[in-house]
Every structure is written in C-alpha cells, then in structure tokens.
Amino acid sequence: LNRRLAAFGTTIFAEMSALAVRTGAINLGQGFPDTDGPEEVREAAVRALRDGRGNQYPPGPGIPELRTAVAEHQRRRYGLSFDPDTEVLVTAGATEAVAATLLALLEPGDEVVALEPYYDSYAACIAMAGGTRVPVTLRPDAEQARFRLDLDELRDAVTDRTRLLLINTPHNPTGTVLTRAELTAIAELAVERDLLVVTDEVYEHLVFDEAEHVPLATLPGMRERTVTIGSAGKTFSFTGWKVGWVTAAPGLVTAVRSAKQFLTYVSSGPFQYAVAEALALPDAYFDAFRADMLAKRDLLAAGLAEAGFSVFRPAGTYFITTDIRPLGESDGFAFCRSLPERAGVVAIPNAVFYDHREAGAPFVRFAFCKQVSVLEEAVKRLKTLA
C-alpha cells in the first residue's frame, strides 16, 4: 500500500458493520436504512432491467433522463438552473463524485480547507489526489446543543495555497445544518479569495424543525465556482444502488468527468432510470420521508438522553452525535469497541472523522434511519449502561 493511503486502514463503516454481524448487535453505526425506499421506484428499476434499459454501458455523463431529472429537481426545489447536457454529471454515488472532483481539481500540494469532523472518504481522497487537508474544527456549543462553525477560524485557514473549500451541509456526523448566515460568510470568503467550493449536500432532504437547507450554489457569486454533490442513496433509501450526481458550471463538470471516466466510466445502468423517476416524485414523498425520519430522530434523541448521553439534537441528516462523558466515559473508540458486548449496540466513534483526534474523542454517533421497533430495542439496551 502506498504512503498516501497507508494511514487510512479500513474504513470505520466496514469495521463496525462487521462487528455488528459478528456480535449480533443492533447496528446504529453505518448509515443505511433498514427499510428500502418506495415500491414504485424499485419497480421502475425492475422494469428497466426487464426492458433492457441500462443493461449495457450507459452514456458516460449519465443517461439523459436522469441528467434532466437532476436539473429539474434543482430548479423545482431551489430555483437553480442547470443545463442537463453540460452541467450535470451522474456518478457512482456521492463517494465517486467526491473522489473524481478532488482528483480533477487538485494539483499536488494544493490545500483543501474542510470542516472537521469530516466524512471519512474526504481525507482519503484528498490524500490520493496529493492534496493537503486543512481542517477547521466544528466546535460543540453546549448552549445551542449543536456544533458550530467559527468563521474566523475558517478565514484564518485559507492561505495562498488553498485551492478549494470542501463543505458538507447537512453535516455528517454532527447533524449540523449550516445557517444562511454561515453559508453567506463562506460564499463571501470564496469570492474574496477566488476559491472553488465543493459542497456535499447528500442529506439535502433531511432537514428538521426550523432549519433550512440552503444550497451554496444559490448564494451570490457561487453558481460559477461551486461543485454541488447529491445522491439518491440517502434521499430514496437505496444506498446500494450508488447513483449520485454533480451539478456545476460546464468547465467544472468537464473536469470532473475527465477523472470520472477513468474511475468507473459508468455505473448503475438500470438504477439510473429508476432514480430519474424517483426525482420526479411529488413533494408529498419528500415531506413524508422527512416526517418519518423526524419522528425517529425524536425517539432516539429522547432515548439516548434517558440513557445518560449528552445529545446534540441534529437539525439534519440521519445521525445523532452524543457526548459520552456524562456516562463516565471519555474515549469514544474504546466505548464503541466494547458497546456490542456491554449493550448489544454498534455506534461510530466520531474521532475517526478528525485529524485532531483528541477534539473528537468523547463523541459517538448513532444512526436513526432504522425501524421504530429497532430503535426502541436499542434504547432499552442502552439504558442498561447507566
């Protein structure tokens, strides 16, 4: 294994899901729903398979139906207009979108300013592209029970070597949804320092309470300098299909496609047809999905609090970050490794998402995209910890 990758070992999601299988524990670690998405979307995939649509290599940029559906989704939800032919690229999930974007845009030695804790593939992809991570740590704000971006720290992180800002909102693993004010400050900084921004918005439809998802590309000066990443896995509960996309200005999409063509070339043929249909579902689908996840968030947040965790109530995503110190614990790694034995539950230590491991040490993430009965059983078990 080369030096760029040696530091990364095995992704925590594989490690923890294997632990869940081995111990029979309830898996609230890796973020995947335990119920498949809408029947009609599954049927659309079956129809495509049967009709022989997408069983051979689809077009490199993605099938026109899906590119059009992505553009239409961005228009309908956010008033953003993208040309399906030159400004939309279909990828093998958001994971490939992140990889191809970083591989396409970074020169060796370029700095990438990213919000820490970050989704684990970011660090590995920046390294594979020869870039350097410059983390800006989201700080727990006990009063607001959320993780907050310090805009001065962000500003200070930008240097002459900064090539791009890598943003994620709603944010995995903290559940923070960046506010319009925070995003406006990010946008102003990007314009002032002439930076590209890559924004991972895969949880765009999972936003709760008063929080609002503001796509960065909608802010002044951002349409031309932003690569926006989306995914069907999260929005339609088909994480195994690996259908994602990039929307950006033509030059940026062309660059990302240059990298993507040599990674997978294409993927998920029949599923692309199904996702094109899914994106056209009426608002009622998206509202019901959000309401379902909101109820699950409330159930698990209340249960974790009763079990003695300090809970950061997420404004978005399907993850809850907790602080384990009220339980008399301080090392999230040790806690998560022993949790299956102690309570029959698997969770993720947030420290894996940090360069400053100590900053993430006491935080542990639980996924609530699970059936109510599963969440209830998990809570019952976790209450035995206290």
Query: Under the rule (CB under 6 A), what is the footprint of ligand GLN?
Result: 13, 30-31, 172
Distance CA 366, CA 27 (A): 9
Q: 31 or 175, CB closer to ligand PMP?
A: 31
One character per residue 159-198, x = contact with ligand PMP (rule: CB under 6 A): ---------x---x--------------------------
Q: Is 325 helix (H, G, I), strand (E, B) or coil?
A: helix
Q: Which of 279, 297, 348, 374 is nearest to 72 (CA)?
A: 279
Through-space distance between the first and last CA atoms of the chain, rounded to whole angstroms? 43
Of 135-143, 238-246, 255-263, 371-379, which part binds ligand PMP (CB under 6 A)? 238-246
Could you tell me the smallest distance in angstroms from the CB atom of residue 75 to ligand GLN?
27
30 binds, among ligand PMP, ligand GLN, none (CB under 5 to 8 A by kind): ligand GLN
C-alpha–C-alpha distance, residues 265 and 19, integer Å: 33
Contact 244, 91 (CB under 8 A): yes
Q: Is 94 in the site for ligand PMP (CB under 6 A)?
A: yes
Nearest distance from residue 184's CB to ligand GLN, in Å? 27
x/- track of binding to ligand PMP for residues 241-280 (CB under 6 A): -x-x------------------------------------
Residue matched to tokens 């300090």: 310
Residue 90 pairs with which residues in a beta bridge?
245
Residue 13 contact partner, candidates ligand PMP, ligand GLN, none, CB within 5 to 8 A by sort of partner:
ligand GLN
Based on CB atoms, which residue is closest to ligand GLN, 30 or 226? 30
Comparing CB distances to ligand GLN, the nearer of 74 and 95 is 95
DSSP symbol at 87: S
**29, 58, 140, 233: which one binds ligand PMP (CB under 6 A):** 233
CB of 13 to ligand GLN, least distance (A): 3
Instruction: Tell whether residue 202 is a contact of ligand PMP (CB under 6 A).
Output: yes
The closest alpha carbon to 364, from 28, 26, 7, 14, belongs to 28
**Residue nearer to ligand GLN on the CB measure, 13 or 195:** 13
Which residue in 87, 111, 116, 200 binds ligand PMP (CB under 6 A)? Answer: 200
Q: Which of 190, 174, 186, 155 is nearest to 318 (CA)?
A: 174
What 8-state DSSP symbol labels residue 383?
A: G
What minimum distance in Å lies between the beta carbon of 175 and ligand GLN?
A: 12
Residue 116: how many other CB atoms lie within 10 Å: 18
3-class DSSP assignment, residue 324: coil
Alpha helices in 193-348 (DSSP H): 232-236, 250-263, 269-279, 283-306, 332-343
Q: Choose between 117 and 215: whose C-beta lies nearer to ligand GLN.
A: 117
Question: Does 204 engage in binding with ligand PMP (CB under 6 A)?
Answer: no
Do 315 and 170 meet the contact criterion of CB atoms below 8 Å apart?
A: yes
Q: Does 95 bind ligand PMP (CB under 6 A)?
A: yes
H or E stretch covering 78: helix 64-78
Q: Return residues touching ligand PMP (CB under 6 A).
A: 31, 93-95, 119, 168, 172, 200, 202, 231, 233, 239, 242, 244
